[in-house]
């Protein structure tokens, strides 16, 4: 009898799965709505077949370490995980004590969009600070950076930045360096939530290392899903001396993939060449095109600088509701009429121009 692997080589595999969606439907709700990049899907097929050691003992996870070190320095180590919330929770646990606290912007994903996971699963305290456009500064950090010897207060041990921010803005390398120096002087470590790290590097036109390890960041959550992966992110440890127990915390937090090769090979596909940069540059360019279109529509107000792949705007609530029937997008602050429009690696010029025309028509109507 032929070996099953030989059968798969002899003829195309069949499937009983059916297509349950219309591939022609487009939207601006999230870069998570996009499918996977064809080069990532090809990498998954490449890693399939045969047996590989489970739980990260495979050749793909091993090779990923070399790829990551090319981007983030010789001390960098990658710990692939399933998703961004998992990456953040595992990373923050690795740099806090049970009585520890994390200083973050009040718009940070760890505070607004992770269902309390850092606090309930990670067992830490979030100390949030209001910001203008989602960016922390040394002065803003000092609003919560105190009381280390006060047993009545959670101890500030970490500053968590987001790059690009939840409001689509960017830290320059110099701004991140200033935050890192300020935090380190106070005995705190710096975590960076980089679910859109590629978009930031593309927009700033600098390597990712310029505002991570070179700037003094101790560890980061590296995004893959928003930039063309099917699933999977990674915690990247940049300063091993500041981090404890990553190997065990990843398992404890239910983020250890048994077939880890399928996470690692996707990250390799993105990072080994320039796919991460091509995808991010395209998404950013589409957001800029969207901004240039909507800013000329009377009655639409753009709320934040458009620096990566997000556009935030304010417009009449009823217009948004009508427009949502044609294109998916989210309210950011429904009471105020604020919305968020996201572009992804597969957003086209036709998508953008069609949306702008529909918005203009709804506003006129």
Domain borders along the chain are: 38-271, 275-364
Q: Does domain 275-364 have CATH number 3.90.1150.10?
A: yes
Give the C-alpha separation, 17 to 134, whole Å.
Answer: 42
Query: String of b and e for 163-194 (b: at least 16 CB within 10 Å)?
Result: bbbbbbbbbebebbbbbbebbbebebbbbbbb
What rounded mean pLDDT belongs to the chain?
95
365: pLDDT confidence band, cut at 50, 70 and 90?
confident
Q: What is the mean pLDDT of residues 183-193?
A: 98
132: pLDDT confidence band, cut at 50, 70 and 90?
confident
Give the C-alpha separation, 321 to 311, whole Å.
Answer: 17
Tell me if 38-271 shares its fold with 275-364: no
Q: What is the mean pLDDT of residues 227-237?
A: 98
Q: Write the pLDDT tens digit of every residue in 55-72.
A: 999 999 999 999 999 999
Q: Write the pLDDT tens digit of every residue in 284-316.
A: 999 999 999 999 999 999 999 999 999 999 999
Percent helix, strand and coil across the chain, each to the nearest 5 = 40, 15, 45
pLDDT of 7 higher than 90: no
Q: What is the mean pLDDT of residues 225-237?
A: 98
6: pLDDT confidence band, cut at 50, 70 and 90?
very low
Q: Is the pTM of this model over 0.85?
A: yes
H or E element: which one contains 190? strand 189-194
Which tokens hold the place of 67? 């790829």
pLDDT of 5 higher than 50: no
Q: Write the pLDDT tens digit of every residue in 252-278.
A: 999 999 999 999 999 999 999 999 999
Q: What's the distance, CA 93 to chain centroid?
A: 18
CATH topology classification for 38-271: 3.40.640
């Amino acid at each position: 009898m032929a070996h099953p692997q030989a059968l798969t080589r002899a003829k195309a595999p069949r499937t009983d799965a059916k297509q349950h969606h219309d591939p022609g439907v487009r939207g601006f709700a999230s870069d998570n709505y996009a499918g996977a990049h064809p080069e990532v899907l090809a990498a998954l097929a490449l890693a399939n077949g045969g047996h590989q050691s489970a739980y990260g003992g495979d050749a793909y996870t091993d090779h990923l370490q070399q790829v990551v070190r090319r981007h983030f320095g010789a001390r960098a180590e990658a710990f692939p995980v399933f998703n961004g919330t998992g990456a953040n929770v595992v990373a923050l646990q690795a740099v806090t004590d049970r009585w520890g606290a994390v200083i973050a912007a009040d718009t940070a994903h760890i505070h607004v969009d992770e269902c309390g996971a850092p606090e309930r699963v990670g067992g830490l305290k979030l100390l949030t600070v209001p910001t203008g456009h989602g960016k922390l500064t040394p002065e803003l950090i000092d609003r919560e950076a105190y009381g280390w010897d006060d047993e009545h207060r959670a101890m500030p041990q970490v500053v968590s930045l987001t790059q690009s921010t939840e409001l689509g803005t960017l830290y320059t390398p110099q701004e991140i360096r200033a935050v890192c120096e300020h935090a380190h002087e106070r005995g705190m470590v710096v975590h960076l939530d980089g679910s859109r790290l590629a978009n930031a590097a593309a927009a700033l036109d600098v390597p990712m290392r310029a505002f991570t390890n070179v700037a003094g960041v101790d560890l980061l959550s590296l995004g893959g899903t928003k930039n063309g992966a099917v699933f999977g992110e990674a915690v990247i440890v940049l300063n091993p001396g500041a981090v404890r127990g990553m190997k065990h915390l990843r398992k404890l937090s239910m983020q250890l993939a048994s077939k880890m090769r399928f996470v690692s090979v996707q990250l390799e596909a993105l990072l080994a060449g320039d796919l991460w940069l091509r995808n991010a540059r395209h998404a950013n360019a589409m957001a800029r095109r969207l901004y240039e279109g909507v800013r000329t529509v009377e009655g639409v107000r753009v709320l934040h600088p458009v620096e990566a792949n997000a556009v935030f705007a304010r417009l009449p609530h009823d217009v948004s509701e009508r427009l949502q029937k044609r294109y998916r997008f989210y309210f950011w602050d429904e009471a105020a009429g604020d919305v968020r429009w996201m572009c992804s690696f597969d957003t086209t010029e036709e998508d953008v121009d069609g949306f702008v025309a529909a918005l203009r028509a709804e506003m006129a109507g």
